[in-house]
Amino acid sequence: MTRRKSDRSATEIISHEAAGRIPVRRKAAGRIDPETRAELRIADALSVGAHPDIPPVSRIGFDAALDALALNSKLAIASDINCYVDWCLAEKRTAFPAEAETIVRYIEERDRQKAKPSTIARRIGSIATAHSMLELDTDAVHSRMVKNRLKAIRKKRGAKVRQAQAIRFGDALSADSSPVTIGALLELCSETLTGLRDAAMLSAGYNAGLRVSELCAIQVEDIESAEEGTGSLFIPGSKTDQERNGAYAWLSADTMRRIRRWLDAASIAEGTVFRRVHVTRKKGKAAEGGHDAGSTPIQQGMAVYTAGTEPLTRQGVNGIYRRIIKEAWAAGLVDVPGGDIAAYIRTISTHSLRVGLTQDLIAEGQDGVAIAQALRWSSPSTAQRYGAQLRVRSGAVANTFKGVWK
């Protein structure tokens, strides 16, 4: 096998077929969106990694398999199988169909590279998906040999799931809250266009327990006003709703007010709600004689804020959360454990608001089933996992020795 990458130019991207066996997903002119690029990378990797003797793949079946995947799944699979195919080429092994021994050797290589057990398991899942797309048997991928190697790595390395640091509501709801609270972050948000957007985004993200994909996808048309200033948010699809049946989330009057202020200030009447804000800074002009004491500038410096048309990305949202927390810490509004703001910020992710809302709901006595329904989970077990550390702090031992054992 020889690695052949998709042709890339300023005007088009074309994914090659391998001897006519792998359907070309599409030929796209102009700028390529992330979803199309991921599809092309998947097709390219399958073309390169497939054994010459496999039968042709149905275009209808191939397109249906791609269409059934969410964007984030396509991005992950594209990355995973390209990594796997490159390794197979270097090791002179056949990628598709894979032998169980090949999968095990690949797992061992990922383990030597210190990949997390969860990351390795995801990569193996992507390899299984690739086999299905090629209409190949997945028995080798799901073999006992492969399962045992994954189990051994979890046993050796530990399988503790890293949980994002919670950002909870604050003292108004619970005295036992997180170091960084929604209240403190909202207090920091300024009256600039950026500040109005950040306040609306924080409020909506926590209020509805939104995944970052759900947050970035909100459209003006998805928000409806209700009684007493509250509202509802229609969520057309999510990680656990791949068939896009849709769900609704309640929005408080405060959240609705913040969203309206942002939309009005940004002159957004339709389309994506949370967008990038462009800032243009203009320097002031000094009076004659320079900036001597007592002199008055002819023109003060200023910053011009403009709402763009492009929606925020996962990375953009994560950067905004971390920036606001850092600014809140610098302003003395929050006090992080140990005073190490850099270490604390590394524990913050786009999931922090969702984790915080879950912990607040658990603290208020809501059961796992109700939380799973409200936050659009397929199982109450996820809510229970997010509340595990919270339950420790309010468990029998903690309640017995609080105030006694310092």
Torsion, CA 380, CA 381, CA 383, CA 388, rounded to 10: 150
Give backbone dihedrals phi and psi of 198, rounded to 5 degrees, phi first. Answer: -60, -40
pTM of the complete model beyond 0.75: no
Does 404 fall in a domain?
no
- The verdict on 193 and 148 lying in the same domain is no
pLDDT at 62 over 70: yes
What SS3 state is found at 235? strand
Q: Pick from 18-22, 356-360, 379-383, 385-389 the range whose average pLDDT is largest.
A: 356-360
Q: Helices marked H in 230-379 — which ranges?
A: 253-266, 314-330, 341-346, 352-363, 368-374
Burial class (CB in 10 A: 0-12, 13-18, 19+), 49: buried
Same domain, 80 and 33: yes
202 falls within a domain: yes
Q: What is the pLDDT of residue 16?
A: 35
Report, as an integer, the average pLDDT of 123-129. 96
Nearest Cα neighbor of 270 from 228, 319, 307, 232 is 307
Enumerate helices (H) and strands (E) in the chain, giving the number of each. Answer: 17, 8
Mean pLDDT of the chain: 83
* Residue 403 belongs to a domain: no
Name the more confident of 46 and 399: 46
More confident residue, 11 or 286: 286
Q: From CA 340, how far away is CA 336, in angstroms rounded?
A: 7
Burial 2-13 (b: 16+ CB within 10 A, else e): eeeebeeeeeeb
Q: What is the pLDDT of residue 72?
A: 82
d(CA 9, CA 205): 38
Burial class (CB in 10 A: 0-12, 13-18, 19+), 303: exposed
Q: Are residues 330 and 273 in the same domain?
A: yes
Give the domain range for residue 195.
Answer: 182-287+297-397
Q: What does the pLDDT average to over 115-132?
A: 94
**pLDDT of amino acid 403:** 57
pLDDT bracket for residue 289 (50, 70, 90): low
- Are residues 306 and 388 located together in one domain of the fold? yes
Residues 224, 151: one domain?
no
Looking at the structure, do residues 70 and 191 belong to the same domain, yes or no? no
pLDDT band at 139 (very low <50, low <70, confident <90, very high): very high
Number of structural domains found in the chain: 2
pLDDT tens-digit map of 326-361: 999 999 988 888 889 999 999 999 899 999 999 899
Say if residue 9's pLDDT is above 50. Answer: no
Mean per-residue pLDDT, 56-70: 89
Counting Cβ atoms within 10 Å, is residue 20 exposed (0-12), middle (13-18) or buried (19+)?
exposed
Question: CA-CA distance, 218 to 202, in Å (whole number)?
Answer: 13
- Output the domain CATH number for residue 207: 1.10.443.10
Backbone dihedral angles phi then psi of residue 231, each to the nearest 5 degrees: -155, 180
Q: Model confidence over 146-181: pLDDT tens digits?
A: 999 999 998 887 655 567 889 999 875 555 668 899
The three-state secondary structure class of 56 is coil
Upstream peptide bond of 97 is cis (omega within 30 degrees of 0) = yes
Cross-strand partners of 359 = none
The answer to whether residue 292 sits within a structural domain is no
Together in a domain, 39 and 129: yes
Residues 152 and 206 in one domain: no
pLDDT of residue 12: 34
Range scoring the smallest mean pLDDT among 144-148, 217-221, 307-311, 393-397: 393-397
Are 149 and 257 contained in the same domain? no
Q: Is 337 part of any domain? A: yes
- Our measurement of the distance from residue 269's CA atom to the centroid of its chain's CA atoms, rounded to an integer in Å, reads 26
Q: 381: pLDDT confidence band, cut at 50, 70 and 90? A: confident
Summarize pLDDT for 173-229 with one digit per residue, the tens.
Answer: 555 668 899 999 999 999 999 999 999 999 999 999 999 989 999 999 999 999 889
| Domain-ending residue, one of 157, 174, 199 | 157
| Residue 90: pLDDT over 90 | yes
**In which band, very low, low, confident or very high, does the pLDDT at 88 lie, cut at 50, 70 and 90?**
very high
Domain match, 55 and 18 both: yes
2-11, 135-144, 395-404: which has the minimum mean pLDDT?
2-11
For the cut 70, the answer to whether the pLDDT of residue 20 exceeds it is no
Q: For residue 210, with 0-12 CB atoms within 10 Å meaning exposed, 13-18 middle and 19 or more buried, which class applies?
A: buried
Average pLDDT over residues 139-146: 95
- The CATH number of residue 70's host domain is 1.10.150.130
Mean per-residue pLDDT, 41-46: 94
Residue 293 clears pLDDT 90, i.e. is over it: no
Cα 67 to Cα 30, 44, 60, 299, 354: the distances in Å are 22, 17, 10, 56, 28
Query: Are residues 150 and 48 both part of a single domain?
Result: yes
What is the predicted pLDDT for the residue at 395? 55
pLDDT at 174: 58
